[in-house]
Structure 1
Amino acid sequence: MKNNLFWVCALFIYSATAQVKTISRDWTSFVQSVTISTKTPKKFKLVAKVKVAPDDNRAWAGLWARVDTNNSEPGFFDNMNDRPIKSTTWKEYSVEGKLDKNAASLHFGGLCLYNGSFWFDDFHLYIEDDQGKFKEFPIDNYNFETTIRNQKIKSWNESITAGKSVRVKEFTISSSTDAAEGSRSLLIRSSGIETPEYERGKIGKADAKNPQIDNMISMLEDLRLRVSGAVKHLDLRETDHLHDAKANRIGALVLHLAAAEVYYQKYTLGEAYKDAKIDKELKAAMDLDDEGRKVLKGKEIGYYLDIYNKVRKRTIEALRKKDDRWFKQVNPGNGISNQYAWFHVMEHQSSHLGQILFLKKRIPKLEQEVKLKKNIKS
């Protein structure tokens, strides 16, 4: 009897021409993919061994699998977010899912988040046959015995989609002799990721004494991390790039966010972050006119981020001394409440984040010029 499950092609990721995109974020993943077709529903199971050495309390790893469909409807997806792997010893884990007649491709692999070391080994994929029995589907380099060089894993892609490599700057990929099976495993290390106070995907904390203020702080902090993540790896050329004569440099925009926040500290709290050394720069950043283009240049992105972070620390410390009743109070003279003022700070930063991302994408690529000396006849 002919099996109704057939494989149109094997792994997509062997292409050496796959474009590598470099980004900054707090997680990374690796993937293999197969295109599939089945006339009847089939169960599948992904199994692998994993262990974690966390450097912060949020670090975790997981296996993941996703089914993409022919009609673009959502397919099966599981990344173990509800059962994160944090064990410091090798253990076996699994993800079980379903393929149906709309299934077009199956993507699977591992992922890890935040700071730490993450080991993966001994991947196996099992798919039901027509008799309902699981049969193993071959995974190339399933145990990572091939030595990893230049952060490239043979037959795997650093991504969530085959053929589209995404290099995350905070993570390094290498081989390890600490293996669950065989002589090698995959080791992913991460560092320098700022661990947020608030849980990913949620606003505020359930036990907050002043939930309205706490919610606002969590949203402000989410935006600060987004801004920082977007710019922290820029070099001086990129930080100082001027898109046109009327534009602003990315470094200047980051300082503008800090300057506007200082203004609202004084407006709502009565006292603002002070640093006499940067008064001139903060004024130039607030206005972002010709003076800003003249003054705000020649400094690394870390300089601007350091000021931005110090200003934010002052904001959080001051807001946490207040309560929700104060937050609702209307500032005399203009009908704006303290809460609305800080909402404005939040949406103002969101607006400029979009501008920063626009400018970042339009920074010209650095092309090294090779100049050949003319031959001189003697």
Structure 2
Amino acid sequence: MKHCVTKGISQDWTAFYQSIPLHYRYTAKFRLTAIAKIQSSTPYSTSAIWARIDHKDGSRGFFDTMTDRPIVSNEWKEYMIEGILDENASLLNFGGLCKYTGVFCFTNFSLSIENEKGILEKITINNPGFDGVMDQFSMTGWEQGTARKAPIEIKEYRFSSDYSKKLGTSYLQVIGSAIFGIDTQYTPQIKILLCMLQDVGKRMVRAIQELGIPEIDYLPNERLNSIGVLITHIAATEAYYQIATFRNSTLTEEERLLWETALNMGEKAHKKYIGHSIDYYLDIYHRVREKTLHLFRHKSDDWLRETSFHHHNNHHHWLHVLEHQSYHLGQIIMIRKMT
């Protein structure tokens, strides 16, 4: 069944699946196999094949995502999941899972289910070799996601078909990139600092990226700020510390007009930052963060130890930026729960 696709989000994993209705009046074993490999420069990246049984009452039965035996090899190998279908099983969902960055490859999915004589019989599945995949929403026989909600574009991943001469078949290629990743062009201490900043940024984006305007503008009481105001305040504060530490100066008149309302928050900010979609706020945040990453490329760990304004060194100031964003992220999550 095809679902309506919702707008894209950012996250560090993606999945695909297809589902088979079940009408068994007896308990049966099943076996899912596929050939897969992964190419990645980070040890954190893994992939898996997965299978889940959904019951008639909506509860979940057997579920295996290969957590204890993830795919990490860059050589084509066959992987297997075996499980049990009980009489309450209504749907068997199965597919592949990709985590973090790299090139994830899958092909030759095969499914067998026991008949009443206890013999495994092969079940026909759609497009087991992933012919003709154009993107994550153009996969004949397959859907993006895990069958728990409508497919949604994951901005960090690209899906396509390729051909393996070694296997003599087509395969699915999923390329994962990291919007919040940090490359090797930074010195060691700066890289650690930026990794922490990016981690907080990633958690904030995940918390807000699917919010609607009523949730973004919600004001719990006159003493608190809306989520929209908090996002702009986070961006404004980071921009302020860019100017104070990298330029060692105060805001120009133009910069003051741009950021002062967001820095101060309060009633004036509530009137200015209202009625905008989440993309408006994410654009402000991402533009500031991109500049931060660019500015740090031209600095070394020695620069972190240099003293700038208020008699503190630059490391101190940017750890404050990290602490500041973490603090307001907690407020954002609290307000989101109140809406």
Query: Retained in 2: the 8 A contact 1:119–1:187?
Result: yes
Following TM superposition, by how much is the alpha carbon of 1:189 offset from its aligned partner in structure 2, in angstroms? Answer: 0.7
User: Are residue 130 (structure 1) and residue 116 (structure 2) matched?
Assistant: yes
> Judging changes above 3 Å, is the alpha-carbon distance between structure 1 residues 316 and 48 closer, same or farther for their aligned structure 2 residues?
farther
Residue 218 of structure 2 corresponds to residue 256 of structure 1: no
Q: How far does residue 98 in structure 1 lie from its aligned partner after superposition?
A: 1.1
Corresponding residue for 2:5? Answer: 20
Cα displacement (A) at 1:357 = 9.7
CA contact 2:107–2:172 (8 Å) conserved in 1: yes
8 Å Cα contact 1:121-1:181 kept in structure 2: no
Mapping 1:145-160, distance limit 5 Å: 146-151=131-136, 152-160=138-146
Q: CA deviation at 1:281?
A: 5.9
Structure 1 match to 2:66: 80
Cα-to-partner distance string for 1:237-272 (whole Å, 9 max, x where unaligned): x99xx959998683x422423678999x9xxxxx99
The 5 Å alignment of 1:206-355 reads: 223-229=200-206, 250=228, 252-257=229-234, 276-277=250-251, 283-292=260-269, 294=272, 300-301=283-284, 302-306=286-290, 318=316, 346=326, 348-353=328-333
Q: Distance in 2 between matches of 1:248 and 1:186?
A: 43
| Structure 1 segment 88-103 matched on structure 2, within 5 A | 88-103=74-89
Q: Which of 113, 120, 142 is the equivalent residue of 2:128?
A: 142
Q: Which has the higher contact order (CA 8 A, sep 6+)?
A: 2
Rate the CA distance shift 1:65–1:244 in 2: closer, same or farther, 3 A: closer
- Aligned-residue offset at 1:163: 8.0
Any conservation in 2 of the 1:143–1:185 contact (CA below 8 Å)?
yes
Helix, strand or coil for the counterpart of 1:184? strand
The amino acid of 1:44's aligned partner reads F
Cα-to-partner distance string for 1:294-327 (whole Å, 9 max, x where unaligned):
59999942234458889xxx99955999xxxxxx
Query: What is the letter of the counterpart of residue 149 of structure 1?
Result: M
Structure 1 alignment gaps of length 5 or more: 1-12, 197-217, 266-270, 322-341, 360-378
Please give the alpha-carbon distance, in whole angstroms, between the structure 2 residues aligned to 1:53 and 1:176: 15
- Which segment is superposed worse, 70-79 or 165-174? 70-79
Larger Rg: 1 or 2? 1
- Letter of the 1:276 partner, please give it: T
Q: 1:185, CA displacement in angstroms?
A: 0.8
**Distance verdict in 2 for CA 1:45–1:256, change over 3 Å:** same
CA distance in 1, matches of 2:292, 2:335: 17
Deviation of residue 162 (structure 1)?
A: 7.7
Residue 195 to residue 307, structure 1, CA distance change in 2 (3 Å): closer
Residue type of the partner of 2:159?
A: I
Give the Cα separation in 2 of the matches to 1:36 and 1:295: 51
The alignment's TM-score, normalised by the length of structure 2, stands at 0.68
| Equivalent AA in structure 2 for residue 225 of structure 1 | K
Residue by residue over 1:110-130, the C-alpha shift from the partner in whole angstroms, topping out at 9 and shown as x without a partner, is 010111111110000111122
Letter in 2 for 1:303: R
> In the superposition, relative to structure 1, how do residues 244 and 64 fare at CA in structure 2: closer, same or farther (>3 Å)?
closer
1:194 and 2:183 aligned: no
Q: Contact between 1:45 and 1:125, CA under 8 Å: does it hold in 2?
A: yes
Counterpart AA for 2:20: V
1:226 to partner: Cα distance:
1.6
SS at match of 1:349: helix
Cα distance in 2, alignment partners of residues 180 and 165 from structure 1: 32
Deviation of 1:36 (Å)? 0.9
Q: RMSD across aligned C-alpha pairs, in angstroms?
A: 4.8
CA contact (8 A) 1:25 1:170 kept: yes
CA contact (8 A) 2:30 2:83 kept: yes
Number of matched pairs: 294
Letter in 2 for 1:254: I
Query: 2:314 & 2:147 partners in 1: Cα distance?
Result: 39
- Contact conserved, 1:122 with 1:180, CA < 8 A, in 2? no
Name whichever of 33-42 and 168-177 sits farther off: 33-42
TM-score w.r.t. structure 1 length? 0.62
Partner Cα separation in structure 2 for residue 25 and residue 36 of structure 1: 32
**Compared CA separation, residues 103 and 123, structure 1 to 2 (3 A):** same
With over 3 angstroms needed to count, the CA separation of the structure-2 counterparts of 1:94 and 1:30, relative to structure 1, is same
Query: Is the Cα–Cα contact under 8 Å of residues 227 and 332 in structure 2 kept in the other structure?
Result: no
Taking the aligned partners of 2:164 and 2:79, their CA distance within structure 1 comes to: 18
AA in 2 matched with 1:49: I
- The aligned counterpart of 1:119 is 105
C-alpha distance in 2, partners of 1:316/1:70? 59
Letter of the aligned partner of 1:87 in structure 2? S
Contact 1:281 1:295 in 2 (8 A): no
